[in-house]
A and B are shown apart, each in its own frame.
Chain A
Amino acid sequence: AQSVAQPEDQVNVAEGNPLTVKCTYSVSGNPYLFWYVQYPNRGLQFLLKYITGDNLVKGSYGFEAEFNKSQTSFHLKKPSALVSDSALYFCAVRDSDNFNKFYFGSGTKLNVKP
């Protein structure tokens, strides 16, 4: 079965410091991995995706994620956090056998303090 795990319910970081939001996955085939951000009372916004190619993927708002096949991880990173980055972040995996099904992680709340 396909699944995604986000081990941290909450991540706290000071503004200007680097941030990491963790995600691990389990898939039967090739993983298609995504990060989405959700602001309060808003829809999910696409940040970045990994399909194939370079393991370091760059996305919107200065975010990037590193695909690590041996550790089955796809951690979200940003070199310097902003207070406006505070939001809920979801990792998701798409089933390579069934293109239509998305599996979301439980979400990680990122708090960036001034």
Chain B
Amino acid sequence: AAGVIQSPRHLIKEKRETATLKCYPIPRHDTVYWYQQGPGQDPQFLISFYEKMQSDKGSIPDRFSAQQFSDYHSELNMSSLELGDSALYFCASSFRLTNEQFFGPGTRLTVL
């Protein structure tokens, strides 16, 4: 079965640079979620989109933005990167009327 696809899987950036993370949901899923998981921490909800509209916002810094496109894929844009942004970034997708989220493998971002 098709799963959530995230690219790239690994990304190394320097401070103050920008990064773009991509997420391709499971086919027919209309809702996408972004999470940030720091070392040894639980996933922290950043933002979600339903039918290409932002549906909820969590602890996403102002330096980050995201959107969902017409093909339902989503991109997380991160600017002015800081050392503390180094983390595993997960994307998850679901179909609105069901409840479980299916997670992608994550993108490991390292900021040097």
Collect the chain B residues with CB atoms within 8 Å of residue A90's CB.
42-43
Whether B55 sits at the interface, judged by CB under 8 Å, is: yes
Q: Is the CB of A100 within 8 A of B56?
A: yes
Contact of A100 among B44, B48, B90 (CB under 8 A): B48
Counting chain B CB atoms within 10 Å of each CB, the highest count among A42, A94, A104 belongs to A104
A98 at the interface (CB under 8 A from B): yes
Chain B: number of interface residues, binned into ranges: 20 to 34
Q: Is B50 among interface residues, defined by CB-CB distance under 8 A? A: yes
Write out the residue numbers on chain A whose beta carbons fall within 8 Å of the beta carbon of B101.
46, 102
Contact residues, A36-52 vs B (CB, 8 A): 36, 41-46, 49, 51
A-contacting 9-mer, from B12-20, B65-73, B76-84, B102-110 = B102-110
* B33 within 8 Å of A (CB atoms): yes
- Asked if residues B48 and A101 are in contact (CB atoms below 8 Å), the reply is yes
Taking CB atoms, residues of chain A closer than 8 Å to B108 are 41
B80 → A minimal CB distance (Å): 27
- Does B103 lie within 8 Å of A43, measured CB to CB? yes
User: In the complex, are the beta carbons of A44 and B103 less than 8 A apart?
Assistant: yes
Which of B48, B58, B96, B100 has the most C-beta atoms of chain A within 10 angstroms of its own C-beta?
A: B100
Q: Are B100 and A46 in contact, CB atoms less than 8 angstroms apart?
A: yes
CB distance from A74 to the nearest CB of B (A): 14
In the complex formed, the residue of A with least CB distance to B9 is A41
Q: What residues of B have a CB within 8 angstroms of the CB of A43 in the complex?
A: 4, 90, 103-106
10 further contact pairs, Cβ within 8 A, besides A34-B100, A43-B105, A46-B100: A41-B108, A43-B104, A43-B106, A44-B43, A46-B103, A94-B99, A100-B50, A100-B56, A102-B33, A104-B42
Q: Which residues of A contact B (CB under 8 A)?
A: 32, 34, 36, 41-46, 49, 51, 90, 94, 98-107
